[in-house]
Structure formats: C-alpha cells, structure tokens
Amino acid sequence: MKKKRRYITFAMVAILALIAVIVIIQYRVRPSTAEAGSGRTLILEYTAEISGVPASNNPMKIFIPVAMDDEGQTLHGFEVAGDWDYEIVSEAEYENRFILINTTTEEYRANDEPVQVRYFVTRYDVSPVTAEGSRWPLTTEKERKYLTGTRMLPTTGKIAEEASSVAGNSYTDLTKARILYNHIVDTVEYDKSGEGWGRGDAMYACNVRKGNCTDFHSLFIAEARALGIPARFIMGLPLPADKDAGVIEGYHCWAEFYTDEKGWLPVDASEASKNPGKRDAYFGRLDRNRVAFTIGRDIRLPESKAEPLNFAIYPYVEIDGREHKDVEAAFEFEETTMSYVQIMLEGERNNDAG
C-alpha cells in the first residue's frame, strides 16, 4: 500500500498551533524531579520487521509499546508510518499503553513494508531522592501488587534470607534499599556468558551472581519486596551518552522502589556495576541516557489471547490468535532542537512535495 498523502488545512494549522502552546508549556514546566537544563530531546524510530507471514487471509495483530510519559520523560507525540489502521490500548494492571494494529496476513504481505513508529521524546536527568515529599501516595491495591512475589521474583526462601541478613536490621526503607543496592553492585557481575541470563530470574542472579540488567534488577526488586518495600521493574532503551544519533543495539531496564517520604526512587544497579565511579549517581537518581517504555512483569496484552509477557519492549505479533515469533525489532535515534509541531509541519511539506 502507498502511504496516505496528507494536506495542511486551516483547521489543521489551528490544531498544530494549539499543540505548539502545549509543547511550549511542556518544555517550560519540567517534571519536579528533573534537573535544570537536563533535557535530551530526540526522535526515536522503532521498526518491527515481520517475516514468514503466511500466504493466507487470517486475522493479524501487531502490538508495539508506547513510550512512557511521566516525571522523568515527556512524550510529545508519535507517528505510525504508512497506511496502517491502529488504536491505542492499555493493559489493566500497570496501565502500559500499546499501539495495536489490527490487520490481516494478506494485507500485511501486500503492504510489503515493516511497521515503523517515530516517537518524539524528551528525557531528563532526574533526582527524586533529593526532592521533598511523595508525589503519588500508593493505594493499598498498588502497594500489594508491588510487594507480591511472582514466578521470577520470589520473596521467600533464599531471597528473603539474603535480604534479611544484608539489610533487615536497618531502620528506614531508604537505608535498607541502599544497603541492598550496594550489596548487589558489589557481589553480582555484569556477565552475559553461559545460559540462564537475561530472563529477569531473581533466583538465577542470587545463585550465580551474574547476569544482565534484567537479572540485577529482578534480584533487587525481589529482595526489596521481601523486606516490605514496594518495588517495580522499568523496561526501556538505552541512549549512547557520547552520540547524538545512531543505532540502539538492544533494551535496557532498571528498577524503582517506593518510600512514603520520597515516592518512587530509581536504581540502576547494572550500570553502577559497569561504572563503579557512578554508584551514587545510579541510586535515587537517573541520567537522561534512556527512554522508558513499560512498567512491570507478566504483562497481559489487551485484546489478546497471549500468555503474560515476561516483560514488554519488543513487538508482539499474533496470527489467527497464535504468537508469530519471526519478528525483528530495530531502533534508531537522532537528537533534535526542533519542536514536535515543526517536525510535523516539515513532514507535511515533504508529503506535499512527494
């Protein structure tokens, strides 16, 4: 299918002007935990390449996570390239949002293009550990959710024993979390060799003492919950600190824990392990070199028969109600000084010229 041509009408100009005001406000009113002058604004291209689509006319669903919009990150907008009909759906437990493309295998094969989404995002350096007061008091239901053990995040047995022996005698939750964080940074190695790493298995990390970011933060989350500290998993993409454009090779994740005094506080134990001199910078603080997409584990996609996803960052595809695994994701970014409205207007001009 050919991309739809779009034209600027007076109504569209008026709408874009209104958006411009909103964008200006977003730039001027930074999140309360963001550090002054810390914004990193970029266009992030998310591409889903789906192969092996059968020559049939079966229903097909394509799920792509939507970048988050919160105190550490502003999502100014996004654009789905091409002629795809899509809707935005939210899953109930964590309120993660997904672009859902409902199509058919015949239509996908005829389109003969990958699915591409462009996100326009500003990411900030954040330091909630230095902010005053809790931003979002936890409800009882949410507190229970972020304290409950799961298959990959057990809160009993060896996990509970280690957490108690390491930090159980500390006075405040903030102190307990810092001691757990230090212990994990000191005793777990960032190592992606062998088998078992990368699934976010807290017991694997506890026993083997190595893994990637999912393993580091699963161990932290499980042990924090074992001590009665609500904790959760954040999945996203890393941004190279020394480049303003390029390819992003894979995902990155981190964790957050909750205290009544400070609200949600981030930790990035795997980055601290790789960069010992930045240990303090990754506890209760985060740099702007990342884009957050989803919260939580065991995510149930809306309008899908899929089993819960261990975590969500890559595209998920169903054909005739069954998972289609022949899917590749690619990510590229480019920093920009343009506003979202300027980018949209330039896109309209390019479409008009085409």
CB atoms within 10 A of CB 88: 10
Kindly report the length of the chain.
354
Question: Cβ(321)–Cβ(58) under 8 Å?
Answer: no
Question: Which residues neighbour 342 within 8 Å (Cβ) at sequence distance 6 or greater?
Answer: none
With beta carbons less than 8 A apart as the criterion, state whether 217 and 295 touch: no
What mean pLDDT do residues 318-343 have?
A: 89
Beta pairing, strands 59-65 & 263-267: unpaired
pLDDT value of position 9: 34
User: Tokens representing 300?
Assistant: 């149930």
Which segment of 6-15, 123-132, 272-281 scores lowest on mean pLDDT? 6-15
* Structural contact between residues 92 and 300, judged by C-beta atoms closer than 8 angstroms: yes
The DSSP letter of residue 195 is S
Average pLDDT, stretch 175-182?
97
Q: Does residue 333 contact residue 123 with C-beta atoms inside 8 Å?
A: no
pTM of the model: 0.88
Q: Provide the token pair at 183.
A: 């212990």
Percentages helix, strand, coil for the chain, rounded to the nearest 5? 30, 30, 40
* Strand ranges in 170-295 using DSSP code E only, listed in sequence order: 189-190, 210-211, 231-238, 245-248, 252-259, 263-267, 290-295
Kindly state the percentage of the chain with pLDDT values over 90. Answer: 75
Residue 136: exposed, middle, or buried by beta-carbon count in 10 A (0-12, 13-18, 19+)?
exposed
Average pLDDT, whole number, for the chain?
Answer: 87
Contact 272, 185 (CB under 8 A): yes
Averaged pLDDT for residues 278-283: 96
Closest Cα to residue 153, out of 273, 236, 257, 70? Answer: 257
CA distance 127 to 109: 47
Range of weakest confidence among 5-9, 255-259, 300-304, 325-329: 5-9
Is the CATH code 2.60.40 the one for domain 35-125+308-353? yes
Rounded CA separation 215/310 (Å): 12
- pLDDT at site 34: 63
pLDDT at 354: 53
What is the rounded distance in angstroms from the CA atom of residue 292 to the CA atom of residue 157? 32
Residue 17 and residue 181: Cα distance in Å, rounded?
A: 46
d(CA 19, CA 148): 41
**pLDDT recorded at residue 1:** 33
Of the options 3.10.620.30, 3.30.360.10, 3.90.1150.10, 3.40.50.410, the CATH number for the domain spanning 131-287: 3.10.620.30
The pLDDT assigned to 33 comes to 64
- Ranges 95-99, 182-186, 259-263, 331-335: which has the least confidence: 259-263
pLDDT score, position 142: 84
> Which residue reads 């550490």 in tokens?
72
**What is the domain partition of the chain in residue ranges?**
35-125+308-353, 131-287
60 CB neighbour count, 10 Å cutoff: 23
Distance CA 142, CA 212 (A): 27
Show the tokens assigned to 312.
């969500």
Q: Is the pLDDT of residue 328 over 60?
A: yes
Binned at pLDDT 50, 70 and 90, residue 269 comes out as very high
Confidence (pLDDT) at 305:
87
Contact call for residues 189 and 217 (beta carbons, < 8 A): no
Q: Give yes or no for residue 222 having a pLDDT over 60.
A: yes
**pLDDT score for 141:** 86
In the prediction, which pLDDT does 171 show? 86
Fold match flag (35-125+308-353 vs 131-287): no
Alpha carbons 307 and 27: distance in angstroms, whole number: 39
With b meaning 16 or more CB within 10 Å and e meaning fewer, what string describes 141-150? ebeeebbebb
Measured between alpha carbons, how far is 233 from 314 in angstroms, rounded to an integer? Answer: 16
Lowest pLDDT segment from 5-19, 93-107, 265-279: 5-19
d(CA 19, CA 174): 40
